[in-house]
Structure 1
Amino acid sequence: TKQFGVRPDCVAGHSLGEITAAHLAGILTLPDAALLVTTRAQLMDTLPTTGAMTALQATPDEVHPLIEDHAGQVSVAAVNSPTSLVISGDHGAVEAVTAHFQDMGRKTTALQTSGAFHSPHLDALLPELAATAETLTYQPPRIPLITATADPGDELLTPHYWAHQARHHVDYQQITHNLHTHGTTTYLELGPDNTLTTLTHHNLP
């Protein structure tokens, strides 16, 4: 964007995109960001093929009791808008939760993924991802990186954040809210499609 004279007032990202945003913010150099991305991708390639992810037309409050019924087998991977989220985990548990909402006439969409990202399936991979994150250099951001935490402070400069970011659920609804309260009035999505642009409209006043 620099060559067109465009400089963002702040940046944010969804899952893997948050690593890209960290580079654009100046937290990670390009080599360090690339190393984190490729290490994460290589580790995720080793995930069991028994995982599944499904997008649901549901609220977190509706989903959490069902998640508790399948503790350790499925979790919320992303909250994208007030009524749109993604669950991830063991295929059987994901199917059971999905069936509940299908019976209610809710929209459900199985995601074509190679594994159950942002789920308990990643727990075994975190030590190796953390080892890579420990080798990186973190600099204070030149451009604010907006996350789901209202004031992340120095959290973004720690290896722990960037290792466990792959495991924790993505709260895009809260990220959008924080962008709004930060004074954002114009949103530009950089990606292969307009998925987040569509979701953003549901998260803003």
Structure 2
Amino acid sequence: MGRELLAGGGVFASVVDECDAALRPFTGWSVREVLAGVEGDHPPFDRVDVVQPALFAMGVALSAVWRSLGVEPAAVVGHSQGEVVAAVVSGALSLEQGARVVALRSRAVLSCAGQGGMALVGRPLLEVEGFLAPYGDALSVAAVNTAGSTVVSGRAVELAALVGELQGSGVFARLINVDYASHNAQMDPLLPGLAEGFAGLVPGETDIAFYSTVSGRVAGGRELDGGYWCRNLREPVRFDRALEGLLDDGHTVFVEISAHPVLSMPLTDAGADRGGVVVGSLARDRGGMEQLLHNAGLLHTHGHELDWDRILPATPGTGLVPLPTYAFQREHHW
């Protein structure tokens, strides 16, 4: 989804180049080539140690594009590996530190590939814990997205059995397209090595409020050290708690920074009764500036003030149109 933006140059391409330079010492290959769809010395596109650095570069670059359009975040939140992008955007981690975390993490997870999996279950946490009880240590809760959406992870055979059982009883459940079990005991053997790799991290203070899905509260930048990123991989993602904190603090306008909307549904569900507005950035097969501007337009029509003097000059072929010479006769229908 980033190919069209890359081809257009500008802020997105410039920041992807910076991410490429930051990641290459750890990966040995070019994330820019991956995003551009270029065949190169990189591993297969769908491998976890390629996907996660690519998503990191997309997130950081898309954040920069939104900010170049005058859309500045009042707070940030990330889901699992998305917290690394959020930490960079918040100012707690430098780009180089974020690249280290995401590259070492994804390389470690690769060693567990093929041993597990993850599944989304459309039921509250307490119900899901009841579903898991017969499976013992084989399965555990990996994430709580909202009050009615939970992610489970663990051994592949037991996970498939659970999903089949739930689907047979009319419960929404589907496997997620990964072959590893993040936020599960399968990550325990990786933690000592990751702690050593993260030992040199020296996070700074945040410029923007960072809502942690590990603790479920606002975290100070200096808390985001090596130990935090080990917890980020091992402990359940409490997106529900972080989201509740955001809404309680008056944050109701959400822009999902991703190659394709993934969290828009839980965000919309959680904020529905509080006047929440949720837009994405890009979408599958719609990876250009047109899609970003479409989402900027959605923000505008939902009452979020935008700086069109910054947006229009950055968009070739657009501009102001003279108004008709007669007065508008306004009538509101909502």
Fold conserved between structures, TM > 0.5: yes
- Asked if the contact 2:120/2:149 (under 8 Å) is kept, the reply is yes
Matched, 1:185 2:185: no
**Paired letter, 1:128:** G
Query: Which ranges of 4 or more aligned residues in structure 1 deviate by more than 3 Å?
Result: 151-155
- Asked if the contact 2:191/2:230 (under 8 Å) is kept, the reply is yes
Residue number in structure 1 paired with 2:225: 158
Residue number in structure 1 paired with 2:145: 80
- Asked if the contact 1:45/1:114 (under 8 Å) is kept, the reply is no
Aligned-pair distance for 1:191? 0.2
- Asked if the contact 1:155/1:161 (under 8 Å) is kept, the reply is no
**Aligned partner (choices 128, 131, 136) of residue 66 of structure 1:** 131
- Asked if the contact 2:210/2:220 (under 8 Å) is kept, the reply is no
Q: 2:221 and 2:99 mapped to 1: Cα distance? A: 22
Question: 1:1-205, aligned counterparts within 5 Å?
Answer: 1-148=66-213, 149-153=216-220, 156-204=223-271, 205=273
Aligned-pair distance for 1:70? 2.5
Greater length-normalized contact order (CA 8 Å, ≥ 6 residues apart): 1
SS at match of 2:123: coil
Evaluate the alpha carbon distance shift between residue 2 and residue 83 of structure 1 in structure 2; reply closer, same or farther with a 3 A threshold.
closer
Task: Point out where structure 2 has 5 or more consecutive residues left out of the alignment.
Answer: 1-65, 274-334
Aligned-pair distance for 1:153? 4.8
Residue number in structure 1 paired with 2:318: none
Aligned-pair distance for 1:176? 1.3
- Asked if the contact 1:28/1:138 (under 8 Å) is kept, the reply is yes
Which has more radius of gyration?
2
How high is the TM-score relative to the length of structure 2?
Answer: 0.58
- Asked if the contact 1:47/1:115 (under 8 Å) is kept, the reply is yes
Q: 2:228 and 2:132 mapped to 1: Cα distance? A: 24
Aligned-pair distance for 1:34? 0.2
Q: 1:50 and 1:157 mapped to 2: Cα distance? A: 29
Task: Point out where structure 1 has 5 or more consecutive residues left out of the alignment.
Answer: none
Q: Could you say what the CA RMSD is over the residues aligned between the two structures, in angstroms?
A: 1.7
**Paired letter, 2:226:** P
How high is the TM-score relative to the length of structure 1?
Answer: 0.92
